[in-house]
Amino acid sequence: MTRGPATEDLLRPLVPQVLGALARRYGHFDTCEDAVQEALLAAAQQWPRDGRPDDPRAWLITVASRRLTDLLRSDEARRRREDTDLARTATAVTRDDDASAGDDSLTLLLLCCHPALSAASQVALTLRAVGGLSTGEIARALFVPEATMAQRISRAKLRIRDEGATFALPPPEERAERLRVVEQVLYLIFNEGYAASSGEALSRADLTDEAIRLGRLLHRALPEDPEVAGLLALMLLTDARRPARTGPAGELVPLAEQDRTRWRSELIDEGVALVSGALPKGAIGPYQLQAAIAAVHDEAARAEDTDWPQILALYRLLEQVGPNPMVTLNRAVALAEVEGPTAALDLLGTLEADARVAGHHRFHTVRAHLLEQLGDTAAAIDGYRTAARLSTSRPERRHLEARAARLAAD
């Protein structure tokens, strides 16, 4: 055993590996997920006290297997029993289990995207089982009450069980449909990490790193799929800016004010190569277009060098390929740079009746910024304060409050 804290940075990437190992060996996906969660709880309790095992994955598989045996034996065994020597049982894992099939994350992703589930349930279950997000994080990411999300995840696990789904790659005719959901899930995991929906931290590297890891896994499995390449490119090009997105005190630094010398050039180069290779392959999808937009931003040495007409054209195309109020909101930002704030405010007016975006803090942030550009200081202050009230991210809220305070002081 080695000393050191049992951190989320270590546990989260192990979740799909441990769950995949159990589901492949025993079936019973819903019960396996419960057993893995109990093993994670045991790790959180014991590792800080006893030290971290030399093979954390084997330890978790062993403990989860024992919990699973209890859960399958009888309902009474659901009561956690005292076990003072769990660590020693890690050596009981067979070499076949320890080395079998490598990383099961891709198979687990596709299992969670079973066609018997609704798209919403597929996303929720995959975020829970593979992404390792809490129910609250998933609820915020999908704009659903937490109690509703808990019920959705429970029903999804039961449906997987009732359908008798096996831990294996789906038949070829189902893979394309499931793949689109897998892409959406990875995108949501990444977004929750890059712009955390709550808490003191602006971003969560554990989530962005995991989304990129799974994105690479997906791209290795499907190297000719242009949308898979586009998704990975989008994540890399966006994550490249993360070091410059926060200041010394953890404060948010807007894109236009970031020190671009801190952007990670190796991620930019990789992302640009991926999207450049994907675009000529045929049908252009939303992830490729978003990656192209991110590439235009990343290739500008200074904010004032940004090719806004090209970005505006790409957003217009993106609206045709994948209409979404957030896309329109982003187009308004680009439109302001090309045609001015008045034209952008007119476009925002078309979104005011759309509940999906009109109550979102970013809508009010963009509107306030445009009003500030027009010199309507009082309305801009009110807009920034409204956006701050609606934001659940503390760093973002502080940034918006500071902008309102700065305007009020001028």
Q: Provide the number of structural domains found in the chain.
A: 2
Q: Which pLDDT does position 143 carry in this prediction?
A: 66
| Among 96, 115, 133, residue at a domain's last position | 96
Tokens 């978003």 correspond to: 290
First-to-last alpha carbon distance for the chain, in angstroms, is 59
Residue 219 lies in a domain: no
Nearest to 130 by CA among 215, 27, 45, 25: 215
Q: Which amino acid is at 94?
A: T
User: What are the residues facing 252 on neighbouring strands?
Assistant: 246
339 domain-assigned: yes
Look at residue 46 and tell me if it is in a domain: yes
Q: Six-digit token pair at 338?
A: 């090309």
Is residue 321 in some structural domain? no
pLDDT at 25: 84
Question: Looking at residue 15, what is its pLDDT?
Answer: 84
Which residue, 50, 71, 96, sits at the end of a domain?
A: 96
Walk along the chain (410 residues) and give the pLDDT tens digit of each residue: 443 444 566 777 788 888 888 888 887 788 888 888 888 888 888 888 888 898 999 999 999 999 888 877 754 444 444 343 334 333 333 333 443 344 577 788 888 888 888 888 988 888 888 877 778 878 876 768 899 999 999 999 888 888 877 777 777 777 788 888 899 889 988 998 898 877 778 888 888 988 898 899 889 888 999 999 999 999 999 999 999 999 998 899 999 999 999 999 999 999 999 999 999 887 899 999 999 999 999 999 999 999 999 999 999 999 999 899 999 999 999 999 999 999 999 999 999 999 888 899 999 999 999 999 999 999 999 999 999 999 988 999 999 999 999 999 98
**328 falls within a domain:** no
Sequential DSSP letters for 362-410: HHHHHHHHHHHHTT-HHHHHHHHHHHHHH--BHHHHHHHHHHHHHHHH-
CA dist., res. 261 & res. 241, Å (int) = 10
Domain boundaries, position 82: 8-96
Whether 389 is covered by a domain: the verdict is yes
At 9 the pLDDT is 64
Alpha-carbon span 142 to 256, nearest angstrom: 28
Instruction: Give dist(CA 338, CA 308) in Å, integer.
Output: 6
Q: What is the Rg, in whole angstroms, of the alpha carbon atoms belonging to the chain?
A: 23
In a domain? residue 369: yes
Residue 8 pLDDT: 62
**Final residue of a domain: which of 96, 127, 160?**
96
- Determine, yes or no, domain membership for 44: yes
